[in-house]
Amino acid sequence: MLRRPVFTSPRAAGALAASIAAFLLLSACAPTPGPSASPTAVASPTPGTTTPAEPTLVPDGTAEENLPVFTSVAERVWATDQRGAGRAYIDALVTAGFDRSAMQVTQDQSTVGNPAESLQFSVRWGDSECLVGQVGPSTGRVVTVVMPQLAEGRCLVGTTRPIDW
């Protein structure tokens, strides 16, 4: 059996060797715990420091200025057992001060009754922007962005669920 080399040029092999050498050199510079370090030690806060404030809605602000609160709300819901329920995101956004009438949300279940692989929710902001969130097994985390509005002031493409509760 004839084996082909992984690298067809000395330049490619040299680049890999240089990358490995740089990695090893940099990892050797990483600090190592000394005898006084304890893996269970917890750092105590410095006196006079405060915990960063939770982001709050800026009603007259831009979509970009309100993205941190939108993201924070979505992350709080994502951390609960309601992470796959569109209503939970909408209700939490309303509680944070976002306008329910400017929201859209996709279905929680697929057309065959399985939990949706991806759930999207949005808030129309002003005349031209949207705060859009996506969660679900397909993302594995909360993803939020500011996007331009679509035609007719919509934020999400396709059929969305009525927000009638």
- Quote the pTM value: 0.69
In terms of DSSP H, where are the helices of the chain? 10-28, 63-78, 86-95
Q: 57 — phi, psi (to 5°)? A: -65, 135
Residue pLDDT, tens place only, 93-144: 999 999 999 999 999 999 999 999 999 999 999 999 999 999 999 999 999 9
User: Could you give the C-alpha distances from 160 to 3, 66, 74, in angstroms and in order?
Assistant: 55, 23, 18
**Calpha distance 146→88 (Å, rounded):** 21
CA 55 to chain centroid, in Å, comes to 16
Residues 106 and 85: beta-carbon distance below 8 Å? no
pLDDT, tens digit (0-9, with 9 covering 90-100), for 16-64: 344 443 333 333 444 444 444 434 444 455 666 677 788 999 999 999 9
Burial class (CB within 10 angstroms; exposed 0-12, middle 13-18, buried 19+) of 41: exposed
